[in-house]
Amino acid sequence: MHSAGMKFVEIEEKTGIKANTAGKIWARRNNEYHGKSAPRSGRPHKLNEPTHEHIRNYILQNRETRREPLQDISAKLNLNVHPDTLHKALIGMGLGHRIERKRPWLSPKHKEARLNFALKYSHWTREDWRHVEFSDEMSLQTGCNRGNVYVWRYPEEEYEEDCCAATHKSGFKKIKVWGSMRYGSLSNLVVLPEKKGGGKFNAREYVDVIMDGELFNRWQQGMEELGDVIMMEDGAGYHQGATSIRRRQYEKDGWQGWGPGVWPANSPDLNPLENLWHILRTNINKWKPKPMRKLDLIAALTEEWKLIPKYKINALINSMPRRLQAVIKAEGGTTHY
């Protein structure tokens, strides 16, 4: 504008830039910084880019280094900086100090079985999955809580193996319930009988209480409504033995199922009923006052179970094709489901 003959006062009227400022910009237009301000002097960074790369490589080595506190990282790498300085540097790299997620422990054999299952049924559509009855048990007391563990990771590494804690399925305690679901339908919620001395539920009791009861009823209803239905059961210990004999008896009448030996072990992410249990627990935790007696808790569970809307059930069933693709992408490993 000034080159075209405009005065700085006129430039101010046109652009709102003060005439004095415009004059200074014009004066330094040909300096060595091409019109930009000269770099200001200041204290150099204590952690330069090569050091950042060294820190990053160290932290991402394995499970242990991802969990080390700032002071230990600084000492082992001889950084000689305050933990706050190191923390700011890690944040600048995109590494946040985030809560460790808990996922089932998966051995190479588990991963192989999960991947094979996912590949075998990867062609199934939503309509196919609507013919599957998913079942599972839940305990409201899942053992002691060791508190949150923090791990250094990038946001997209939330479910990476090194960033998760392995969980092992333990025996059921206190209130134990069984339920099942298929597209548009929930079973009745069955409270498993409490055994004297806290003994474990066994195969014979599972046959009497579940297989010959609500699970059988769900199978019959499914066959009447859909023409065919697959009954899914996981690999819990009491789903074997006597229950295998009962399944063979039912197969003569058309029973089809994914039971122990077929359904991949340690795969809650492939059973959408697990998500329904989470919804149920969340809803119970919202009760004020919370149920303190066993009978009150059973009543609350039964009430909340019946209130779960069908659209949530259907959305979970419809997620099955995506779940299988996630397992395939993870090569049988942990998924975000």
> How confident is the model over 289-335, as pLDDT tens digits?
888 888 888 999 999 999 999 999 999 999 999 999 999 999 999 89
- pLDDT higher than threshold 60 for residue 203: yes
The pLDDT > 70 percentage for the chain reads: 90
CB atoms near residue 211 (< 10 Å): 21
CA distances from 26 to 3, 12, 20 (A): 10, 13, 10
Average pLDDT for 21-46: 68
Phi/psi for 308 (5° steps) reads -65, 120
What does the block give as tokens for 20? 């004095």
- pLDDT higher than threshold 90 for residue 216: yes
Average pLDDT for 209-238: 94
- pLDDT higher than threshold 60 for residue 145: no
Span between the terminal Cα atoms of the chain, in Å: 60
Task: Name the band, by pLDDT with cuts 50, 70 and 90, for residue 285.
Answer: confident
d(Cα 149, Cα 168) in Å, to the nearest integer?
17
pTM for the model stands at 0.70
- Orientation of helix 320-329 relative to helix 108-120, angle to 10°: 130
pLDDT of residue 157: 84
- pLDDT higher than threshold 60 for residue 172: no
The verdict on domain 104-149+167-329 having CATH code 1.10.600.10 is no
Task: Name the band, by pLDDT with cuts 50, 70 and 90, for residue 286.
Answer: confident
pLDDT of residue 33: 54
- pLDDT higher than threshold 70 for residue 167: no
- Domain ranges within the chain, ordered by starting residue: 49-101, 104-149+167-329
CA distances from 299 to 258, 290, 310 (A): 31, 12, 21
For 50-148, strand residue ranges (E) read: 96-99, 101-104, 132-139
Contact 93, 143 (CB under 8 A): no
Contact 202, 296 (CB under 8 A): no
Q: What is the pLDDT of residues 92-126, one digit of tens each?
A: 888 888 877 777 889 999 999 999 999 999 999 99
Q: What is the pLDDT of residues 72-97, one digit of tens each?
A: 999 999 998 898 999 999 998 888 88
Would you call 179 helix, strand, or coil by DSSP? strand
Average pLDDT for 25-39: 64
Task: Provide CB contacts within 8 A for 193, sequence distance 6+.
Answer: 205, 209
- pLDDT higher than threshold 70 for residue 284: yes
Burial of 181 (0-12, 13-18, 19+ CB in 10 A): buried
Average pLDDT, the chain: 87
